Amino acid sequence: MQQFSEHRPLVYTVKNRCRVCYTCVRDCPAKAIKIINGQAEVITERCIACGSCVKVCSQGAKAFYESINPVEDLLQSTEKVIACVAPSFPAEFTGIKDYRLFVAMVKQLGFDKVVEVSFGADVVAKKYKEKLKTTDELVISSDCPAIVNYIRHYYPDLVPNIAKIASPMMAVDRIIRKEYGKEVKTVFIGPCIAKKAESDEIDEVLTFTELRKMFEQHEIKQQNVNARDFDPPFAGKGALFPVSRGLLQNIDKLGEEIDNDILVTHGHVNFKDALEEVASGSIKLKYLEMLSCDGCIMGPGMSKSKKRFRRQSKIVNYVKDKLENLDTEKWNKDIKKFENIDLSRKIEAKDRRLAKHEEKDIAQVLESMGKKEAKDFLNCGACGYSTCMEHAIAIIDGLAETEMCLPYTIEQLHNSFEKINHSKSKLNDARQALEHSEKLAGMGQLSAGIAHELNNPLGVITMYSNILKEEADPSSTMYQDLELISEQAERCKGIVGGLLNFARKNQVRLTECNLEQLAKHSLDSVIRPDNIDLKFLSELQNPMVWIDRDQITQVLTNLEKNAVEAMPNGGIISVELTEIEDNIKLTVSDTGTGISQENIDKIFTPFFTTKGIGQGTGLGLPLIYGIVKMHKGKINVESNNNPEKGKTGTTFIISIPRNGKAL
Ligand code: ADP
Ligand code: MG
């Protein structure tokens, strides 16, 4: 018999197969599965080996200790090896027509004898019958090893009530040793994983699925064997054992007086509820029989099938046949023969209950998952725990993680989406700004080239037209033509100057200067008709700001010039200085025509102008844009050009850091 421990676990996790669906967490009656770094891990010391996680995991991420190799070793050895077959075999090997073919197949693997465990169930049932007759205390049956483990770990106070009666497997092992010799090796073959750790008397434990594999490996088929019966002793009603109430049916004629004090349950929910009620004293029982699975016919060591009732009927039919052919006399004789066999066993408590936690600690964990009010407690069970409270406690115990809460995770996901969307739109803005800057830079280079090439010929034109002008008679048409030439050449020089300004690989020379004075002075110097009024407002606590004096003057002058040009019928130009934290906000607004929606995206593009030829160059705003960027600032425009909907006008808002030098 293998010894299981944390280093050699009976049930374990297959690393990286887990897809964190929490099905095993939900299904584990002992809460022996912890989620760590997004992987479900079996906690050996809490595990009751019921094999439930193995059954429910669709990814094969839970496995159990395989005994094929040690059994093969035994069969290869010179030892006499006896197979003890659990009574649920007809439910697993439904395709085998005659049970004697199955026995022959097992024998073919190399076993010396094949004995039915049901006979063990027969003698054990007798023992229970006696026990129940002689005690008034609650008797909990010890037939299901997973249940025994559960009580030892989680209801240690009920351990004294567990019948210290050998299981049918242990009983048959002792019978075999009496019948065939102490030194024989025994291999139990059954539906159960927990059996592998139930007793160290038995040498090895195979599950039916492992047996199937061995049949396949050895190519053993029912067609190729000669039917043979089990080796004695032959069982009677004990063969009914694997179906729910099986043991009870075997202890018939128990006496009517305890009928109402009997509770038989199967499945996790039921056995946990039963134990809870028994422990709390809410029910008084004489006999409690619990099976972790839906009867041993649905054990985790069996093939995955949902056909519980078909399996049950297979067992019942098998038992019916068996009882019809049973040599009762022989059976009675055998029962008598092994009457005095020792059927006692030891069961000790191994308390694995978790400590209780303070309410405030639980509340804190719940709050970290956004659970504060009654409406937040969905108790949806998606995390694998029935209630949010249980989940929170498991988190404190280090068994669970907050991310397991689906509503919480969905909310987090939504928040992340929002953040991503926000970043995306910021990225978009930045990309647009970059594209714009690149475009400006490209145009700047072009402009610089053109301007540079034009400057010299323009100088020559101006110079020669002036020389010729001096020589010409001022009243002549020639003189007027020459004047037009030099006037237009001057205009061209203006444009070229603008281009050079825009294209200049500018560097800012930051000095600390009084922005209030600078802005006021620029506004006062605006050339404007009388019907335009000026307004100036400064809310600066400290007017001293680090800027490039000439460039900011140019910004203000250009904005104010545009404002004047946008108000042919008069209006107001306002300049305001405010501050928000470390940024200075410079606002220039007018009550002019406004900018149409169609044009607003174009105004910073070089050469975009709505002004007539000779009036606009379309270089003012691109220049401003460049200067603001060089000051590590931002420029925005708000404009309204729909006179029907109230006031018209345009506002340019520039924000620059107060101390651009520090950036
Ligand atoms: P320009 O003044 O030479 O046309 P700008 O770059 O200064 O070039 O301006 C580009 C265009 O932006 C202008 O032609 C005009 O259509 C629009 N614009 C600029 N400022 C204003 C304003 N304050 N009101 C209305 N339109 C404006
Ligand atoms: Mg302009």
pLDDT in tens, 193-221: 999 999 999 999 999 999 999 999 999 99
**Residue of the nearest CA to atom 11 in ligand 1?**
609
pLDDT (average), residues 17-29: 91
pLDDT (average), residues 293-305: 88
pLDDT (average), residues 614-639: 88
Pocket lining: 593 vs ligand 1, CB cutoff 6 Å = yes
If you measure from the C-alpha of residue 92 to the centroid of ligand 1, how many angstroms do you get, rounded to a whole number? Answer: 89
Domain ranges in the chain are 66-337, 366-410, 419-503, 506-663
Ligand nearest to the CA of 650: 1
Pocket lining: 608 vs ligand 1, CB cutoff 6 Å = yes
Ligand nearest to the CA of 651: 1
In what helix (H) or strand (E) does residue 580 lie, and over which residues does it extend?
strand 571-580
Interval 507-518: pLDDT, tens:
778 999 999 999
Pocket lining: 618 vs ligand 1, CB cutoff 6 Å = yes
Pocket lining: 554 vs ligand 1, CB cutoff 6 Å = no
| Predicted pLDDT at 264 | 87
Report the atom number in ligand 1 closest to the C-alpha of 588.
23
3-state secondary structure of 121: helix
Ligand nearest to the CA of 615: 1
Report the atom number in ligand 1 closest to the C-alpha of 618.
8
Predicted confidence band of residue 109 (pLDDT cuts 50, 70, 90): very high
**Residue of the nearest CA to atom 20 in ligand 1?**
562
Q: Which of 192-206, 222-236, 238-252, 411-425 has the lowest mean pLDDT?
A: 238-252
Pocket lining: 563 vs ligand 1, CB cutoff 6 Å = yes
User: What angle is formed at CA 38 by the lines to CA 33 and CA 42, rounded to 5 degrees?
Assistant: 20
Residue 396 predicted with pLDDT over 70 = yes
Q: Which of 575, 604, 617, 621 to mutate to test the pocket of ligand 1 (most atoms within 8 A of CB)?
A: 621
Equal CATH topology for 419-503 and 506-663: no
- DSSP class of residue 232? S
How far CA 303 is from CA of 13, 75, 191, 198, 245, in Å, comes to: 19, 24, 9, 21, 22
Report the atom number in ligand 1 closest to the C-alpha of 623.
6
3-state secondary structure of 103: helix
How far is residue 187 CA from its own chain's centroid?
Answer: 43
E strands, 26-149, in order: 33-36, 39-42, 62-64, 81-85, 113-116, 139-140
Measured N-to-C along each axis, helices 515-524 and 549-565 cross at an angle, to the nearest 10 degrees, of: 40
Residue 256 predicted with pLDDT over 50 = no
Residue 645 predicted with pLDDT over 70 = no
pLDDT (average), residues 435-441: 74
For residues 206 and 601, the model is more confident at 206
Starting at the edge strand found earlier in the chain, the sheet holding 532-538 runs 532-538, 571-580, 583-590, 649-657, 634-640
Question: Using only C-alpha atoms, what is the Rg of the chain?
Answer: 47
Residue 175 predicted with pLDDT over 60 = yes
Report the atom number in ligand 1 closest to the C-alpha of 558.
7
Q: Which of 561, 562, 588, 635 to mutate to test the pocket of ligand 1 (most atoms within 8 A of CB)?
A: 562
Ligand nearest to the CA of 621: 1
Residue 128 predicted with pLDDT over 50 = yes
**For residues 433 and 448, what is the distance between their CA atoms, to the nearest angstrom?**
22
**For residues 489 and 652, what is the distance between their CA atoms, to the nearest angstrom?**
33
pLDDT (average), residues 308-328: 87
Q: Class assignment of domain 506-663?
A: alpha beta
Ligand nearest to the CA of 609: 1
- DSSP class of residue 42? E
HEC string for 449-501: HHHHHHHHHHHHHHHHHHHHHHHCCCCCHHHHHHHHHHHHHHHHHHHHHHHHH
Distance between the two ends of the chain, CA-based, in angstroms? 75
Ligand nearest to the CA of 635: 1
If you measure from the C-alpha of residue 609 to the centroid of ligand 1, how many angstroms do you get, rounded to a whole number? Answer: 6
If you measure from the C-alpha of residue 618 to the centroid of ligand 2, how many angstroms do you get, rounded to a whole number? Answer: 6
Residue 73 predicted with pLDDT over 50 = yes
Residue 240 predicted with pLDDT over 80 = no
For residues 640 and 343, the model is more confident at 343
| Predicted pLDDT at 1 | 60
**Residue of the nearest CA to atom 7 in ligand 1?**
620
Pocket lining: 571 vs ligand 1, CB cutoff 6 Å = no
In what helix (H) or strand (E) does residue 654 lie, and over which residues does it extend?
strand 649-657
Ligand nearest to the CA of 652: 1
Pocket lining: 156 vs ligand 1, CB cutoff 6 Å = no
How far CA 186 is from CA of 108, 172, 347, 608, in Å, comes to: 16, 10, 22, 98
Pocket lining: 616 vs ligand 1, CB cutoff 6 Å = yes
| Predicted pLDDT at 295 | 83
Ligand nearest to the CA of 560: 1
**Residue of the nearest CA to atom 19 in ligand 1?**
562
**Residue of the nearest CA to atom 21 in ligand 1?**
562
Q: Which of 609, 613, 636, 637 to mutate to test the pocket of ligand 1 (most atoms within 8 A of CB)?
A: 609
| Predicted pLDDT at 253 | 44
Contacts 24+ apart (CB under 8 A), 3-7: 3/200, 4/44, 4/65, 4/196, 4/197, 5/44, 6/44, 6/45
If you measure from the C-alpha of residue 619 to the centroid of ligand 2, how many angstroms do you get, rounded to a whole number? Answer: 7
| Predicted pLDDT at 261 | 83
Q: Which residues pair with 650 in a beta bridge?
A: 590, 639
Spatial neighbors of 521 by CB under 8 A, at least 6 apart, are none
Pocket lining: 592 vs ligand 1, CB cutoff 6 Å = yes
Q: Class assignment of domain 419-503?
A: mainly alpha
**For residues 379 and 405, what is the distance between their CA atoms, to the nearest angstrom?**
10
Residue 660 predicted with pLDDT over 60 = yes
Predicted confidence band of residue 108 (pLDDT cuts 50, 70, 90): very high
Pocket lining: 121 vs ligand 1, CB cutoff 6 Å = no
E strands, 198-261, in order: 204-207
If you measure from the C-alpha of residue 612 to the centroid of ligand 1, how many angstroms do you get, rounded to a whole number? Answer: 11
Report the atom number in ligand 1 closest to the C-alpha of 604.
6
**Residue of the nearest CA to atom 14 in ligand 1?**
609
Interval 525-554: pLDDT, tens:
999 999 999 999 999 999 999 999 988 998
Burial environment of residue 517 by CB neighbours within 10 A (0 to 12, 13 to 18, 19 or more):
exposed
If you measure from the C-alpha of residue 251 to the centroid of ligand 1, how many angstroms do you get, rounded to a whole number? Answer: 104
If you measure from the C-alpha of residue 658 to the centroid of ligand 2, how many angstroms do you get, rounded to a whole number? Answer: 26
Pocket lining: 648 vs ligand 1, CB cutoff 6 Å = no
Q: What is the pTM of this model?
A: 0.67
Residue 247 predicted with pLDDT over 80 = no
If you measure from the C-alpha of residue 610 to the centroid of ligand 2, how many angstroms do you get, rounded to a whole number? Answer: 10
E strands, 11-121, in order: 11-13, 33-36, 39-42, 62-64, 81-85, 113-116
Burial environment of residue 190 by CB neighbours within 10 A (0 to 12, 13 to 18, 19 or more):
buried
**Residue of the nearest CA to atom 8 in ligand 1?**
618
**For residues 113 and 429, what is the distance between their CA atoms, to the nearest angstrom?**
83
Report the atom number in ligand 1 closest to the C-alpha of 563.
23
If you measure from the C-alpha of residue 607 to the centroid of ligand 1, how many angstroms do you get, rounded to a whole number? Answer: 10
Residue 255 predicted with pLDDT over 50 = no
Pocket lining: 650 vs ligand 1, CB cutoff 6 Å = yes
**For residues 190 and 116, what is the distance between their CA atoms, to the nearest angstrom?**
11
Average pLDDT in the chain: 90
Burial environment of residue 542 by CB neighbours within 10 A (0 to 12, 13 to 18, 19 or more):
exposed
| Predicted pLDDT at 257 | 45
